[in-house]
């Protein structure tokens, strides 16, 4: 097994690079969309590309390259990647939409009644669109193929 440079594990190094590259891309993309640099995007969830997806797809790809696509390890990482991607576009995205509605309800109560139920708004951007997940998947696979 070839050792990695950063974490002394080639597969983990690839995952780490995929995660960091995805987060950096969020900052760069926000520069073009928002016309300003937004370093908060580096730590935020949501937006393009999905760093969770990039991570699990790079993990699955690197595992397939290292252990073979017939291995149980590859099967485990593929199932894990599917669960993460489904969660990003399904459950987490739905929670984000619910947060938008709840924030509006709370704002209306604050405006009408003069008091606030919570100190700060609920986080609204939790999940991803299918395009953001697709972008993360492509990024993760490409990074694994390039670095392996």
More confident residue, 54 or 2: 54
Q: Are 51 and 85 in contact (CB under 8 A)?
A: no
Residue 26 near residue 42, CB atoms below 8 Å: yes
Contact predicate 11/66, CB 8 Å: yes
Indicate whether 54 and 115 sit together in one domain: no
Same domain assignment for residues 77 and 100: no
| Predicted local distance difference test score (pLDDT) of residue 101 | 78
Q: Name the average pLDDT for the chain.
A: 85
Helix (H, G, I), strand (E, B) or coil at 147: helix
Total domains in the chain come to 2
Residue-wise pLDDT for 107-136, tens only, equals 777 677 766 666 676 565 656 788 999 999
pLDDT at 1 over 60: no
- The pLDDT value recorded for residue 100 is 74
- Of 127, 147, 140, nearest to 59 (Cα)? 140
Instruction: Tell me if 19 sits within 8 A of 104, measured CB to CB.
Output: no
pTM for the full predicted model = 0.77
- Tell me: do 18 and 54 sit in the same domain: yes
């Amino acid at each position: 097994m070839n050792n990695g440079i950063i974490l002394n594990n080639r597969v983990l190094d690839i995952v780490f690079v995929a995660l960091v590259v995805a987060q950096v891309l969020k900052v760069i993309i926000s520069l073009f969309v928002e016309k300003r640099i937004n370093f908060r995007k580096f730590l935020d969830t949501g937006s393009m590309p999905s760093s969770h997806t990039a991570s699990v797809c790079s993990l699955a790809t690197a595992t397939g390259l290292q252990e073979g696509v017939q291995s149980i390890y590859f099967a485990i990482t593929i199932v894990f990647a599917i669960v993460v991607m489904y969660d990003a576009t399904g459950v987490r995205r739905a929670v984000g939409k619910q947060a938008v509605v709840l924030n509006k309800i709370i704002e209306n109560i604050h405006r009408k009644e003069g008091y606030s139920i919570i100190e700060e708004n609920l986080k609204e951007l939790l999940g991803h669109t299918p395009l953001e997940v697709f972008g993360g998947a492509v990024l993760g696979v490409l990074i694994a193929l390039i670095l392996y």
